[in-house]
Structure 1
C-alpha cells in the first residue's frame, strides 16, 4: 500500500511539473521543439504571418488587434502556451514612429550607420543598439528590425547611410556587435537585407548577378561574420533577386547557404512587400511580414490550403514554427515579456548618440592646421540650408522622430513612398552650437540658396563655415555623387571669396568635391543624430579630437567606379526585371582602386586627427589562427584616438589588398599601447566553389600596418601552410 502511495505522489508531481519549454535550464532548441509539438495546426499557421499595425492598412472603423503596438509589424502570440505576440519596430538608428502613428511618442536618434562605422569601434555599436532596444522595450516592442550589413557597391545607393560601408570585415563586426547589443535587452534583432540588396532603384525588380566565389568573399561574408558575432534571432530577406530568384524565395541562399552551410537556427522573415508566392515557404522563408503590403496574404489561407493538401509538408510548417519559437527563446523575448510604459532616461540616451556622432566624424582635410578654430575670430559666417534649425537625417523606415518640433520638408515625388517620407532635421542646430563656442564673435548666417549673396557675405567675414548637404532616402538612389541644388557652385564661389573657408558635409555617402583644392579644411559629419549640432561644434573648436575613419571610399567621380554612369533600371517602369551586374566581384571599393591602380579622392580608412601617432614593431605569426601584434604611440601633444589597420598586401599569387583587422586605440600624449589582433583565415583565402570550401594557398603573405587603405607604414611577412575550411 505504501508503494502505491509513493507512486501516486510521483505521478501527481509529474503531472504538475512545468512543461519543458518553460525550463530555462534547457537549450532554446529543445524548448522550441517541445513548444512547437504542443501547438495545433491553426496555431502554427497563425505564427507564420503578420500584419502592419497602422491605421491606413485597416478598413474604415476596423480596430487594431488587442495588444498590437502601432509600428512596423505585429504577429499574434498563443496566450494559452505563453507565447508572446511579436511587436516589431524599425530600426537601426532608433525607434521609429511612422507618420507619428503613436502621437507624441519620440525616441533618441542615433547618427547614421556610416557614422557608426566610421568609429571603427564595435563596442560603440553594441552600446548604441542596446540603448535603442531598451527604448523599444519601454515602448512595448520585442522585435527590433536592426542589423543592416549590405555592402556599399554603389556610392549612389539611397540606403548606404543605414549600413556600415564597403568592407565585409568592418560591416560584419559592426553589425554583429549592434545585433548583440540589441538582444542584450531581450528583444529579437534581425540581420538584413539578405542578400545583395545593394541598390534602391526599382528594387523589387532588380536582379543582382554575381558568381558564387565573389559573392561568398564579399556580401555573404559580411552576413556570415555578423551572424557569428551577433547570433541574431532573425534574418530579414531583401526585395531584389539574386541570380534569377527573389531573395525571399531563394533556396540556394536561404536553404543552401544560410540554413545549410552556416547552420543558422533562427527564422527568416520577409521584408515588407517582398513575398511573391506561397511556395516561398518551400524555398526557406519562415514568416511573411506585414502581409497587407504583398499582393496576397500568401502565408495565410493559401498556406493553410497548401499544408492541408500536402503541397507544403507538415514537417516544413513545423520547422518554420520551431525557428520562430527558437528566436523568441534564444533572444530572451519569450521569458521577458514587454509592455508599453517603461521608463526611459532620454538624457543618458542622448549622450550615447552624441558620443557616436563625435567619434564618427571624419576630418578629411586640414591644411595649415586651420582646425581647431580659434575662438578669437571676430566675424564668422555660417552658410547652409536649415543649419539654423538642425542637422540632416536620412529618410525611409530608419528615420526617427526625436523631438516634437522636428523640422521637415515633404519629399518631392510622385511615388507612393514619397507620400510618407520627409526631408527631416533633428533640432540640434549647428548655428546655435557654433555661436555658443565663439561668444565674442559676430556670427552671421546665410542659407546658401543664392550663391552670389553667399559669396558677397563671405568677403566680409574672417572665417566661413559652409555646410554641404546631400539628403538620401530608402527607395531612391541618387543620380550622381554631386551635392544637389547647386551647392558645389555655391561652395566654389564662397571659397573664391574667402580662402578661410571650412566645409562641413552632411551626406549619406561619398560625394565629389570639385572645390576641394580651394578650401583648407573638410569635415565629414554624416547624418549626426540627436545632438549632432553640438558634436560638430565640438570638433570644429577642438573640444573633441576628430577620430573617425572612412568606412567607404570617396571616388573623384562615378567614372572611377565599376558602376555605369546611369543607374541600372533607372528608366524602366515598375514590373520590368533588369540585371545589375557586378563585374568587380569581391573587389569592392578600395580593392577596386588597388586593382585598377586609380587614386580616389579619399581612401577607405582615411581620417585626420589633431594629434599624431606612430607605429612600430609589427610581428605576424602563423598557425591555425594567425595573429599580428604592434605598438601604437601618441607622439602629439593632446589625447586622441587612432585606428591602426592591418591589410593583406601580397599573397602567394601576387599583389592583393584586403582589410584583415583594426583596433580603435585611445592614448594620452606620449602613451603607447601594444595591440594584438587575430587574423580570420577566410580573409586570407579564396572561396573554391568546386571544393565548396575556403582555400588558403600555402606560401608567403605580406601584411601591412596602415593608417588607411592607401597609406601603408610597416610590412611583415608570414609563411602559411595550405589548408581548406568548410563554409
Structure 2
C-alpha cells in the first residue's frame, strides 16, 4: 500500500508496517470518523489505540489566533499572539530559497508551540491575472520561481515535524465564482505552468499534505478530480500523504471518495451529515465505495500523524522569539523593490535633512489582519512611521499627515466601494501643507488586506482611496518626495513612474516591516528585491484580459492563452509592460561578463553548466539576483520567447567579482506534447541568456540540443 517510486528507508518501512497493523484493528466507524473534521481545525484520532487528533491551522502569514472549537469566533486569549510573516508575493520578491526555508522553520516552530500538526501553507498558485484577490498570498507568475521557493518552504516546515499543506491544487487563479468556475485548460498548459511547483513540492520537498482547490478543472471539482488527484498526484508523482479539501470544498460522497480526496474539512451542518461521515459509511455498506479505498485514506492520515505528532524526537516549538523577529526582518528587507531612483535620492543622506513629512494612511496601517480569510494576531507590527521615527526621530523632526482614509470592507456595496475610492480634499490639503514645510516627504500609499482579499477580485488596476490625487498634490508641493507603495499585487502606477523620481515597492511585510523599510531608506540595507510578476501598462495587455477569459462566461474560464502566462505572453507578443518580471534596482551597479556554457552541443539527458562573472562596480555592498532564461530559436512547437530556468542571488562588496554558476538539464528544456502525451525536447538551437530581469538581458550564447 502506498509505496513510493523511490526505495523506502528501513524507518519508512517500519512506519508503514505499524500503520498496516493499526488499520487492521479499526472498525469501519472508527475509520470513517478519521476522514472528516470533528471541529473547525481538527479531525478524529483513535483514543483506544493512542492515536491523537490531527490538528491544523493557517497559514501563509503566520499561525492564526485561536477560535472556538466549533465557531469562528476568536477566543480572545492572552497567549495566542504570533509572529506576522511577510505575504507570499513579498517572499517571492526576495528570490531567495534560503529565506523561504527559514520562513518554513520559523513558522513551524510557532505552530508547534500552539500544538498544530499541519500548517496550511505554503500557497503558491500562479498569478494569471493581476486582479486576483489572493495574489498577495501566492508567490509569482512563474512556475520555476514558485517551485524553488515552495521546495524550501516545505522542507523548512517539515524539519520541525509539522506537516506542510501545499495549496490550492490546482489552477486556482481567481476568486470570482471560485466555488463553481470551470477552468477549461489544455494539458500542456496545465503541466508546464500550473503543476510544476506542486510536483516539485511533492517530489523534492516531500510535502506531507495537500489541499484541493475550490474550483472545477475540465469539468470536475478539484476535490473529486480523478485526473488531478489519482492519476497525477498519487499515481505519477507517488504522493504518500493526505489530500484534504479546502473548507467547504467537498461536493459529493462517492465521487470524492473514489477520486482521491482523503479528508473532508469545513463543510456545514452536523458532522454526522458531512459527505465523509454517515453518507460515506452508508456508501461503503452499499458497495459504492470499497473498504480498501477507506483503508488507503486512513493509511495516508496515519502516515502524516506518524511524521508529526507521533514522530520520534519531538521538538518543543517556540513563538515570538528574537530569532523569529530577525527572520521576518530579513525576509522583509530582501523583498523591498527599488523601482526608480532617478536622482540617486536614496539612500537618504540625513546630514542636510532637518524635517521629514511622513504622509499616507499606510504609514500607520497594520496588515496582519483584514479582509476575508486568515490573518494573524500579531504580537507586534512595526509600521512605517514607527520604523522611520525609531531610526531618526531623535535627530530629525518627523511629522505625520494621513492624506487619505482607507475606509473599505469586502462586504461593502458597490456604491460604498466607489465612495471609499474618492479623494479626501481635507486630508490632502493637510498633507500638502505639511509637505511644503518639510525638507523631504515620504509618501506611503498602496492597498491593504481589506482591499486585496480572499473571496473577491479587484475590478481594475487603479490605486484605491484617491491616492493618485494625493500623490499629485504632494509631489507638486514638494518635488523631493519619495513614494513608497505597500501592496501585494500589481497596480497602475504609470503616473508615479513618469512623474516621481524615487519609488519603492514594499508589501504586507510582516512584524518588522517598518524597520526594514526604514533601513532601506537610510542605507543600512541595499534593496535587492525583484518583482515576482509583470506589471502591465494596461490591464488589457495581460493575457487573460486581452483574450476576454477573465472572469469567464457561463461559469467557464477558458485558458486560451495556454502557456503564455505573465512575461511569457508579454515577451512573445512583444508588449511593453510597465515593469517587467524580475525587475528591481540597487543602490550599486553590477557588471556581467565572461558568460559561457560548458559545451556548445548537448544530447538529451545531459547537464548544462553556465558560468559568468558578476562584478559590483558601484560604491555600496549589495545583492544581485542573476536570472537565466532559455528560448528555442525557430520553434515549431509554440515555445515562448524565453523561460526562466535558473537563478542565483549573490552578495558582493564594492569592486568585488563573483563567479556565478547556473546549472540545469537538457530535460528542463522539454515541452509537453499533447499529441505524444509526454515530455519532449524539440531539437535545435536554444538561446541561453543571463540578465538582471526578463528584459534586462546582459549576455547570451547559443547552444544546440540533439535528439
8 Å Cα contact 2:170-2:222 kept in structure 1: yes
- The aligned residue for residue 178 of structure 2 is 203
Question: Is 1:505 matched up with 2:485?
Answer: yes
- The aligned residue for residue 78 of structure 1 is 46
- The aligned residue for residue 39 of structure 1 is 26
Q: Could you report, residue by residue, the CA deviation over 1:76-101 in whole angstroms, capped at 9, with x for unpaired residues?
A: 21233332211111012210115533
Q: 1:707 aligns with which of 678, 692, 700?
A: 692
Q: 2:403 aligns with which of 440, 448, 451?
A: 448
With normalisation by structure 1, the TM-score equals 0.86
Indicate how the Cα distance of structure 1 residues 183 and 342 shifts in structure 2: closer, same or farther if over 3 A, else same. Answer: closer
Deviation at 1:187, TM superposition (A): 1.1
Give me the whole-angstrom Cα distance separating, in 2, the residues matched to 1:325 and 1:485: 50
Correspondence list, 1:10-29, <5 A: 24=11, 26=13, 28-29=15-16
Deviation at 1:44, TM superposition (A): 1.5
- The aligned residue for residue 58 of structure 1 is none
Correspondence list, 1:75-474, <5 A: 75-97=43-65, 99-101=73-75, 103-104=77-78, 105-279=80-254, 280-292=256-268, 296-329=273-306, 331-336=307-312, 343-344=318-319, 346-376=321-351, 377-388=353-364, 390=366, 395-403=371-379, 427-438=381-392, 439-449=394-404, 450-471=427-448, 472-474=452-454
Indicate how the Cα distance of structure 1 residues 96 and 515 shifts in structure 2: closer, same or farther if over 3 A, else same. Answer: same
Indicate how the Cα distance of structure 1 residues 22 and 694 shifts in structure 2: closer, same or farther if over 3 A, else same. Answer: closer
Deviation at 1:658, TM superposition (A): 0.3
Give me the whole-angstrom Cα distance separating, in 2, the residues matched to 1:613 and 1:649: 24
8 Å Cα contact 1:361-1:546 kept in structure 2: yes
Deviation at 1:680, TM superposition (A): 4.6
8 Å Cα contact 1:273-1:293 kept in structure 2: no
Corresponding residue SS for 1:628: strand
Indicate how the Cα distance of structure 1 residues 718 and 27 shifts in structure 2: closer, same or farther if over 3 A, else same. Answer: farther
Indicate how the Cα distance of structure 1 residues 672 and 28 shifts in structure 2: closer, same or farther if over 3 A, else same. Answer: farther
Corresponding residue SS for 2:131: coil
Indicate how the Cα distance of structure 1 residues 679 and 328 shifts in structure 2: closer, same or farther if over 3 A, else same. Answer: same
Give me the whole-angstrom Cα distance separating, in 2, the residues matched to 1:355 and 1:497: 35
8 Å Cα contact 2:87-2:136 kept in structure 1: yes
- The aligned residue for residue 644 of structure 2 is 659
Indicate how the Cα distance of structure 1 residues 358 and 301 shifts in structure 2: closer, same or farther if over 3 A, else same. Answer: same
Deviation at 1:294, TM superposition (A): 9.7
Give me the whole-angstrom Cα distance separating, in 1, the residues matched to 2:697 and 2:174: 32
Deviation at 1:603, TM superposition (A): 0.7
Question: Is 1:494 matched up with 2:474?
Answer: yes
Give me the whole-angstrom Cα distance separating, in 2, the residues matched to 1:293 and 1:699: 59
Question: Is 1:523 matched up with 2:504?
Answer: yes
With normalisation by structure 2, the TM-score equals 0.88
Corresponding residue SS for 2:13: coil
Of 560-569 and 447-456, deviating more is 560-569
Deviation at 1:451, TM superposition (A): 2.5
Q: Could you report, residue by residue, the CA deviation over 1:111-149 in whole angstroms, capped at 9, with x for unpaired residues?
A: 111111111111111111111111111111111111212
Give me the whole-angstrom Cα distance separating, in 1, the residues matched to 2:546 and 2:77: 43
Corresponding residue SS for 2:543: coil
Give me the whole-angstrom Cα distance separating, in 1, the residues matched to 2:371 and 2:142: 23
Question: Is 1:619 matched up with 2:628?
Answer: no
Question: Is 1:639 matched up with 2:615?
Answer: no
Deviation at 1:262, TM superposition (A): 1.5
Question: Is 1:694 matched up with 2:648?
Answer: no
Q: Could you report, residue by residue, the CA deviation over 1:510-531 in whole angstroms, capped at 9, with x for unpaired residues?
A: 1111232111111111111001
8 Å Cα contact 1:162-1:398 kept in structure 2: no
Give me the whole-angstrom Cα distance separating, in 2, the residues matched to 1:175 and 1:359: 17
Corresponding residue SS for 2:319: coil
Give me the whole-angstrom Cα distance separating, in 1, the residues matched to 2:12 and 2:387: 53
Deviation at 1:542, TM superposition (A): 0.5
Q: 1:49 aligns with which of 22, 27, 36?
A: 36
Q: CA RMSD in A?
A: 2.5
Corresponding residue SS for 1:626: strand
Deviation at 1:427, TM superposition (A): 3.2
Q: Could you report, residue by residue, the CA deviation over 1:672-723 in whole angstroms, capped at 9, with x for unpaired residues?
A: 222222225454121012322110011111100110001111111222122x
Corresponding residue SS for 1:225: helix
Indicate how the Cα distance of structure 1 residues 308 and 390 shifts in structure 2: closer, same or farther if over 3 A, else same. Answer: closer
Give me the whole-angstrom Cα distance separating, in 2, the residues matched to 1:252 and 1:590: 28
Indicate how the Cα distance of structure 1 residues 342 and 678 shifts in structure 2: closer, same or farther if over 3 A, else same. Answer: closer
Give me the whole-angstrom Cα distance separating, in 2, the residues matched to 1:149 and 1:626: 28
- The aligned residue for residue 465 of structure 2 is 485
8 Å Cα contact 2:547-2:561 kept in structure 1: no
Indicate how the Cα distance of structure 1 residues 29 and 534 shifts in structure 2: closer, same or farther if over 3 A, else same. Answer: same
Give me the whole-angstrom Cα distance separating, in 1, the residues matched to 2:368 and 2:81: 17
Give me the whole-angstrom Cα distance separating, in 1, the residues matched to 2:562 and 2:270: 32
Of 391-400 and 101-110, deviating more is 391-400
Give me the whole-angstrom Cα distance separating, in 2, the residues matched to 1:194 and 1:293: 25
Q: Give aligned pairs, total.
A: 655
